[in-house]
Structure 1
């Protein structure tokens, strides 16, 4: 991935990947708030990053994207998708 050129105001979005674990572990508690002690942010990050942002769930595949600010390479936010589920 390239760093945007000076004056380039484009934010970026990509699949989570190896090397994003620490940032994702810091972002997950705010983004995926849960009081369930079974959910550990570091375990989530460690599972999603080596798999390039994809993980199986009982009803399909979940996906994790990271987003960054213009002129940066480090993620500043995350987007987590779950497949639709019919109760």
Structure 2
């Protein structure tokens, strides 16, 4: 129930949430750390990512593995950095 007394439609909310980010919600609920890394590229140059999941309260291990993968694949050098200052209002 909302503060104004209106009923909260959990099913509608969950449907929208799962539609937007279907692979993250469960880890938000369980408190497990998760990382998404764009390690690969399609033939067309689009990023292809993987999602890593860690044990609860072991964020440091997940971050270490993520850093190791980032350095081993050098994915940060494959993409042109886009800065907001390059866009005109």
TM-score when scaled to structure 2? 0.27
TM-score when scaled to structure 1? 0.27
Higher relative contact order (CA 8 A, sep 6+): 1
Larger Cα-atom Rg: 2
Greater fraction of residues in strand: 1
Greater fraction of residues in helix: 2
